[in-house]
Structure 1
Amino acid sequence: MKKSLFALLLGGLTIGITEFVMMGLLPDIAADLKITIPEAGHLISAYAIGVVIGAPTLVILGRNFPPRKMLSVLALMLTVFNSLSIIAPNYEILFLSRLFSGLPHGAFFGVGAVVASRLADKGKEAQAVSIMFSGLTLANLAGVPIGTYIGHHYTWRYTFVLIAFVGLLTLLFLYLWMPNLESKGGESMKTQLRFFKKPEAWLIILITAVGFGGLFAWISYIAPLLTEVSGFSAEAVPYILILAGLGMVVGNFIGGKMADKFSPLTTTITLLLVLALDLTLVFFGSGNQYLSLLLVFMTGCISFAVVAPIQMLMIQTAKGAEIIASAAIQGSFNIGNALGAFLGGLPLVAGYSYASPNLVGVAMSLIGAGITLVFILRKRKIAAIRAV
């Protein structure tokens, strides 16, 4: 692995812990700040809002910055705003801290994905992008469990000390190892935004928001699925989630290799169809504990294998606006988060079992694959017209 890619991996690790550790800390924060758990849950929404706002805004504002400087500024924002959470005296300040912490998320991955593809050896661009996103998977494998343990046994504020420390390491290694690449983002705002007039841009955004939402229909309700359907104890759930994180690590690298070998578009539609099949197996097979454990690993693996191919598909499609388009994908992932959790909860409200959200995930994955097929057919039609 190139040292410069390791610096991007650390940035992904910082972002991953920041985004996902809140789910495990909600009871501790609610008790400490004397608020309800649903109120504490708004802190998750605050981060997602920050991602959606910050992704296009910061990329446009920093389009003339050299990539190394831009990434360093974004890593500094991550560190500072997470540090604010350490000393937040009340819910309102913590809410603002979470909102601000989400601002650099999409921009960092947007700039980082383009930088990783430029740093990669020829033919290994998607694998280089997957290295950066492996920071997210490592966060789920180790960072989030460690942060949750610290929050439960000491104080949730120490968890944000850990995040700030990883953020400082990111800054250090960006300074030491990231080369001074020339900026390619000097286009005007009008030129950058012109890409979103193309149907292809919105097709990719829909593929991401709907297709990847299948993951969140599963993982949002994985704890009650494991306890109520599979019959595991509540104490076993955190350890089983590590298995899901391990699957994400493996899947992330598999997805990068597949995208380089078969093309991002072919890889995306294939993995969305496989994810639909996998979630069907989760629905029917979670009553068996051994099969349930295997499916936890497989679902984490398949779902995260989609990330690098979709990111590369957007980069390849958005000529002249790669960074802002790549950043927009991060907003789409967060929309998928919200859609999957909301739609997956509807059958539960209707009184169906905790396995039922997976059928919603099946539907979302199949719709995502269908939108990908529309993209493929449109691409072939345009190619045929140009050939004539």
Structure 2
Amino acid sequence: MKKSLIALAFGTLGLGIAEFTMMGILPYVAADLNIGIPVAGHFISAYALGVCAGAPMLILARKRPLKHILLALMALMLVGNLGAAMATGYWSLLAARFISGLPHGAYFGVASIVAGKLADEGRSSEAVSIMIAGMTVANLFGVPLGTSLSHILSWRVTFLLVACWGVIVLYYIWRWVPAVEGLKDTGFKGQFRFLKTPAPWLILGATALGNGGVFCWYSYITPLLTNVSGFSAGSITALMMLAGFGMVVGNLASGRLSDKYTPGRVGMVVQGMICIVLLLIFFLSPHPWCSAILMALCTAGLFAVSSPEQVLIIRVAPGGEMLGGACVQMAFNLGNAIGAYVGGLALGGGYRYPALAGVPFALTGFILFVIFYKKFQSRY
């Protein structure tokens, strides 16, 4: 495996811990700041909205070398998470989470292009999946570690850990990622030209709604597992590792399958599977091991659909590849924000109901994927 792709994956590892660890430590943050869990869910939404706000910054940096952009984004990740570790209350943590999200989408947009340029012939989807693999490893090891540290020490230690990791990522991107050829500058308006066609909107819509459906449920996974499935608080770390294992397997499998069967077909099938799994979670979550297995399947689907979406948006965005790659992360995190909010509203019916609330979102995302596959897949 190329060291340059590993360096890119180190970046997504840090971003993944910063984004997803909040799901595991939500009760600790809520208790420490003396707020309810639905209110603490705003910290998930704040990060996601930061992603949406930060991605368009790539337009201003389009003439800069891709490697320099990656370094600047990692520096911003460091600052945001250091601020989260030092937050003194609700508003300061909300602001720090927003800042932490700013580099997320932009990093994925640039790193996807760099990974594609560094890939061997015919293995671009696999290269992108390796870059994204850092996000899944974050859920396998980083998020459980953060949950455990929050249980033993403090949730602030988790964000301090991410800030320290940012220093390491800066070094390895500087050392291992070569100076690849930049993209042709199509001008300010040229960056947006791809949005005049329906194909990218179908992908972005499927991403936002599909991931929104998952995050209706996943944003409140810890109280579901403890209050409905009956797992102890001490077992949450192991369960988060199981969820992360599902993400690793789903991501790497979809990268290879996308190169073999096309990203559109893989994304469509996986999104349909997610709809079924969310419905099963609603009915079967009171049964502990059913809940655990379905959790792993759903998180596998979450990242099995991520690589195809990241690859497809770059292919359908000629002249605006960097913005397109960031836009799919905007859509991903917009879905996360909406999902966390709608899931919080559904908590009124009990901790099982966020999964049910996510089904219509996931189903609509599946329908959009089907339309894309039928009308546009043959072109890409």
Tell me how far 1:206 sits from its aligned partner.
Answer: 0.5
- What is the 5 A alignment of 1:322-333? 322-333=321-332
Q: 2:227 and 2:325 mapped to 1: Cα distance?
A: 39
Deviation at 1:348, TM superposition (A): 4.3
The answer as to whether partners of 1:48 and 1:334 remain within 8 angstroms in 2 is yes
In the TM superposition, residue 273 of structure 1 has moved relative to its aligned partner by 1.3
Alpha-carbon distance in structure 2 between the residues aligned to 1:303 and 1:78: 23
Alpha-carbon distance between aligned partners in 1 of 2:129 and 2:37, rounded to the nearest angstrom: 34
1:11 is matched with 11
The runs of 5 or more residues in structure 1 that have no matched partner are: 384-388
CA contact 1:348–1:354 (8 Å) conserved in 2? yes
Deviation digits for residues 349-386 of structure 1 (CA, Å, limit 9, x no counterpart): 3x3x5434333333322221211222233327x97xxx
Query: After the TM superposition, which residues 77-156 of structure 1 pair with which residues of structure 2 at under 5 Å, given as runs?
Result: 77-156=76-155
Q: 1:341 to 1:87 in 2, by over 3 A?
A: closer
AA of the residue aligned to 2:45: S
Superposed displacement of residue 224, structure 1: 3.7
**CA distance, structure 2, for counterparts of residue 30 and residue 210 of structure 1:** 27
CA drift at 1:231: 3.0
Q: Name 2:292's counterpart in structure 1.
A: 293
Using a 3 Å threshold, how does the CA distance of structure 1 residues 197 and 3 change in structure 2: closer, same or farther? same
Q: How much is the aligned-residue C-alpha RMSD, in angstroms?
A: 2.3
Name the SS for the 1:230 alignment partner.
Answer: coil
Preserved contact between residue 45 and residue 341 of structure 2 (Cα < 8 Å): no
Q: CA deviation at 1:53?
A: 0.6
Distance in 1 (alpha carbons) for counterparts of 2:135 and 2:198 = 29
Higher mean C-alpha displacement, 288-297 vs 325-334: 288-297
- What is the TM-score when the length of structure 2 is the normalising length? 0.91
Q: Distance in 2 between matches of 1:25 and 1:282?
A: 21
- Which gives a bigger RCO, structure 1 or 2 (Cα 8 Å, sep 6+)? 2
- Do the aligned residues in 2 keep the contact of 1:63 with 1:185 (CA within 8 Å)? no
Structure 1 residue 33: Cα displacement? 5.3
1:28 is displaced (CA, Å) by 4.3
Flag structure 2 segments of 5+ consecutive residues without an equivalent.
Answer: none
Q: In structure 2, give the amino acid aligned to 1:370.
A: I
TM-score (norm 1): 0.90
Contact 1:63 1:187 in 2 (8 A): no
Q: Are the counterparts in 1 of residues 212 and 358 from structure 2 also a CA contact under 8 Å?
A: yes
Does structure 1 conserve the Cα–Cα contact (< 8 Å) formed by 2:65 and 2:179? yes
Q: Contact 1:185/1:323 (CA < 8 Å) preserved in 2? A: no
Cα 1:80–1:137 shift into 2, 3 Å? same
Aligned partners of 1:185 and 1:321 also within 8 Å: no
| Residues 181 and 22 of structure 1: CA distance in aligned 2, closer, same or farther (over 3 Å) | same
* 1:239–1:107 Cα change, 3 Å: same
The 1:377/1:37 distance shift into structure 2, 3 A limit, reads closer
Question: Which amino acid in 2 is paired with 1:357?
Answer: P
Alignment match, 1:361: 358
Structure 2 distance, partners of 1:248, 1:23, is 15
Asked whether the 8 Å contact 1:11–1:75 carries over to 2, the reply is yes
SS of the aligned residue for 1:212 comes to helix
**Alignment match, 1:334:** 333
Q: By how many angstroms is 1:182 displaced?
A: 1.5
Find the aligned partners of 2:342 and 2:162 in 1 and give their Cα distance: 31
The CA distance in 2 between the partners of 1:84 and 1:346, in whole Å, is 29
Q: CA deviation at 1:174?
A: 0.5
Give the drift of 1:31: 5.3
Q: Give the AA of the match of 1:177.
A: W
Q: Deviations over 1:269-293 (max 9, x none)?
A: 1111122222333333334333333
- Structure 1 Cα separation of the partners of residues 158 and 205 of structure 2: 34
The residue matched to 2:120 in structure 1 has which SS? Answer: coil
Distance 1:15 1:70 in 2: 15
2: CA distance between counterparts of 1:104 and 1:148?
Answer: 23
Matched, 1:175 2:199: no
Q: Distance in 1 between matches of 2:226 and 2:36?
A: 23
- Equivalent in the alignment of 1:386: none
8 Å Cα contact 2:263-2:308 kept in structure 1 = yes
With over 3 angstroms needed to count, the CA separation of the structure-2 counterparts of 1:151 and 1:343, relative to structure 1, is closer
Aligned to 2:225: 226
Percent same amino acid at aligned positions? Answer: 46
Give the paired residue count.
Answer: 379
Following the alignment from structure 2 to structure 1, what is the Cα–Cα distance between the partners of residues 96 and 342? 28
